[in-house]
Amino acid sequence: MNLLNKPKSEMTPEELQKREEEEFNTVLINCRNNKKLLGRVKAFDRHCNMVLENVKEMWTEPVNKDRYISKMFLRGDSVIAVLRNPLIAGK
């Protein structure tokens, strides 16, 4: 049975962990300020406000730059697109 269809109350701790890994995996977010964020979504709402962790913020100046942010809140109006699982999309 697919873990996404099974009620959480009927899942074992191992199944809950696996479901969390599936639901809250790495995403790539394109922002309005021409920056990209690669990180894990911990929470979100209907406005695309997000709480992210283990975020790598990337942008281009004369050279490519990036920085690590352990936890951040991203306001939804700055989000252009959210790509699910960009690291394993080719598998």
Q: For 10-39, write each residue's pLDDT tens digit.
A: 888 888 888 777 777 789 999 999 999 999
Q: Is residue 69 part of a domain?
A: yes
Quick: pLDDT tens for 32-89: 999 999 999 988 899 999 999 999 999 988 888 999 999 999 999 999 999 987 666 5
Which amino acid is located at 78 in the chain?
A: S
Closest CA to 65 of 78, 56, 55, 75: 56
Let me know if residue 7 belongs to a domain.
no
Determine whether 12 is exposed, middle or buried from the number of CB atoms within 10 Å of its CB (0-12, 13-18, 19+).
exposed
Positive or negative, the Cα torsion across 7, 13, 15, 16?
Answer: positive
> 41 pairs with which residues across the strands?
52
The count of domains in the chain is 1
- The pTM of the full predicted model, rounded to 2 decimals, is 0.71
> Whole domain around residue 64: which residue ranges?
26-88
